[in-house]
Amino acid sequence: MSTEMGTAIVLALAIGIGFYFSSIWVGILAYFVIFAASSLAGRLIQRK
């Protein structure tokens, strides 16, 4: 899985969550939460 594809999936998820709750702020918040979680997971995988 490439970084570009991962970013696109995260962005699509964030937009989808934002539309579901009809609030752009929820989408932005979801984007940062998912991005932080994915970068943290990436660091943990690299450490092993």
Q: The pTM is what?
A: 0.47
What pLDDT is attached to residue 48? Answer: 67
Tell me the mean pLDDT in the region 24-36.
Answer: 80
pLDDT exceeds 70 at position 15: yes
Sign of CA dihedral 6, 11, 12, 13: positive
Tell me the mean pLDDT in the region 22-34.
Answer: 79
Residues 6+ apart with CB under 8 A from 15: 27
Domain ranges of the chain: 3-47
Tokens of 19: 């539309």
pLDDT exceeds 80 at position 21: no
Higher pLDDT, 32 or 2: 32
